[in-house]
Amino acid sequence: MLRRFSRADEAAVEAALASTGTADLADRRADELSGGQRQRAWIAMVLAQETPLVLLDEPTTYLDVAHQIDVLNVLHRLVTQGRTVVAVLHDLNHAARYATHLVAMRDGRIVAEGHPASTVGTALVAEVFGMPNQVVPDPVTGAPLVVPADTREPAAG
């Protein structure tokens, strides 16, 4: 059943636009936006619905690093407000920093799950990504921070 756009709806849209930094894009068509602007606009549309559960697949795709962090901070704020956020992130450092529960998968199977501090380690990263690495504490948050090993060939010289 459809209903009229209410003041509460308008407030939800304005809050979503403000939280994603997209208020200045509100009057533009989606096909006029860059990939990063479009991604942030889609996230604003999701937030404006004010659902208790938010499902996102790669919400930081197409975003520069500053906007990636902005989006992850918005999602973190939703969690602190009592909403559930499930997001697919391929950036393990972002997942380790922001997730309260992490599920690591390889070939469609769950390899490990739990709090990032007890889940993300050198062996897991090697198993899931096939990449030599070191996992150290993030100097800002203390979360696991994956540092890939240097596997470059020595320069000819």
For the chain, 157 residues long, give each residue's pLDDT as a single digit of tens: 677 889 999 999 999 999 888 999 999 998 999 888 888 899 899 999 999 999 999 999 888 999 899 899 999 999 999 999 999 999 999 999 999 999 999 999 999 999 999 999 999 999 999 999 999 999 999 999 999 999 888 888 7
Tally of CA atoms within 13 A in the half-sphere of 67 that contains its CB: 17
E strand or H helix at 145, and its extent? strand 144-148
4 vs 73: CA distance, rounded Å:
32
Beta-carbon contacts of 142 under 8 Å, excluding residues fewer than 6 positions away, are none
Question: Residue ranges of the alpha helices (H) in the chain?
Answer: 7-20, 35-48, 65-80, 92-98, 116-119, 122-129
What is this structure's pTM?
Answer: 0.82
User: Is the separation of the CB atoms in 57 and 86 below 8 Å?
Assistant: no
User: Is the separation of the CB atoms in 115 and 122 below 8 Å?
Assistant: no
Amino acid at 68: Q
